[in-house]
């Protein structure tokens, strides 16, 4: 049976008088890779932050796994949600191993288990543990730092990972490598749910099992990529798809 891991019902969010999110309703199933696509200011980050309680809805109900967000311990909840952001946010004065081990240490894991986990996680994100674990973040490239950010988010083996434009600051080739790797990673880590925000339509269509397209705090369409391309539901989605076709045409002209 399919298990729901995120459930938004009638969720709205206002800042002052401005309604940023309007009556959002959706569910995400366990194991899905959902991408959230929308232009800057469409409410993607706000939606993502409501999942781990960093932002609270003005009205409506959010359930994550079995926890009703306005009734649960958010600190405890966040231990079950890995969080990856564009700026990575590694602690510069801590080694890579210590950065990955922050939460395991807080949870009081013994040293042996922590060391073993750090090795496994670095291996998972294709960084040689021996070579990298004692370095400091400043001694790594942007792409390598983001791999560490991913490893850190996975340190407590959370069922859900939320990612806010994790690759947006990286250049094209590194970015494409990481897209391929995160897709493979998701397939390898069975039953983990990824909720991945991006403003890049190619990234959203490539990575998502389903793609949620947001505009002005509303969902325009939430469906499989091939369905969205074949049947764009609104004018906004049609325009988005047209940008990809336009690019494709441009490349044809270069041939």
Ligand X SMILES: Nc1ncnc2c1ncn2[C@@H]1O[C@H](COP(=O)(O)OP(=O)(O)O)[C@@H](O)[C@H]1O
Binding residues vs ligand X (CB under 6 A)? 15, 20, 38, 40-46
Q: Min. distance of Cβ 83 from Mg ion in angstroms?
A: 13
Q: Which is nearer to ligand X, 103 or 202 (CB)?
A: 202
Applying CB under 5 A, among 35, 45, 52, 95 the residue interacting with Mg ion is 45
Q: Which is nearer to ligand X, 40 or 66 (CB)?
A: 40
Q: Min. distance of Cβ 196 from ligand X in angstroms?
A: 13
Contacted by 82, from Mg ion, ligand X, none: CB < 5 to 8 Å by type = none
Token couple for 68: 């009703």
Closest CA to 160 of 59, 65, 57, 81: 81
Q: Min. distance of Cβ 158 from ligand X in angstroms?
A: 22
Q: Min. distance of Cβ 46 from ligand X in angstroms?
A: 3
Total number of residues binding Mg ion (CB under 5 A)?
A: 1
Using Cβ positions, the residue closest to Mg ion within the complex turns out to be 45
Distance of CA 131 to the CA centre of its chain: 27
Q: Which positions lie near Mg ion, rule CB under 5 A?
A: 45
């Amino acid at each position: 049976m399919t298990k729901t891991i995120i459930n938004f019902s009638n969720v709205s969010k206002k800042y002052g008088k401005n309604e940023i999110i309007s009556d959002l309703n959706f569910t995400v199933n366990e194991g899905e890779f959902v991408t959230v696509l929308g232009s800057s200011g469409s409410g993607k980050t706000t939606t993502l932050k409501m999942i781990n309680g960093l932002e609270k809805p003005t009205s409506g109900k959010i359930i994550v796994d079995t926890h009703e967000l306005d009734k649960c311990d958010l600190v405890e909840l966040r231990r079950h949600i890995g969080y990856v952001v564009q700026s990575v946010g590694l602690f510069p004065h801590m080694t890579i191993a210590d950065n990955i081990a922050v939460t395991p240490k807080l949870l009081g894991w013994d040293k042996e288990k922590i060391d073993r986990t750090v090795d496994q996680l670095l291996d998972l994100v294709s960084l040689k543990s021996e070579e990298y674990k004692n370095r400091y973040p400043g001694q790594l490239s942007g792409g390598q730092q983001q791999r560490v950010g991913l490893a850190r988010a996975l340190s407590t083996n959370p069922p859900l990972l939320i990612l806010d434009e994790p690759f947006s600051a990286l250049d094209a080739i590194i970015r494409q490598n990481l897209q391929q790797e995160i897709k493979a990673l998701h397939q390898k880590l069975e039953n983990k749910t990824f909720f991945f925000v991006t403003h890049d339509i190619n990234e959203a269509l490539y990575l998502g099992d389903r793609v949620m397209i947001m505009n002005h705090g509303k969902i325009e369409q939430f469906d499989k990529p091939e369905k969205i391309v074949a049947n764009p539901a609104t004018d906004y989605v049609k325009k988005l798809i047209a940008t990809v076709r336009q690019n494709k045409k441009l490349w044809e002209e270069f041939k």
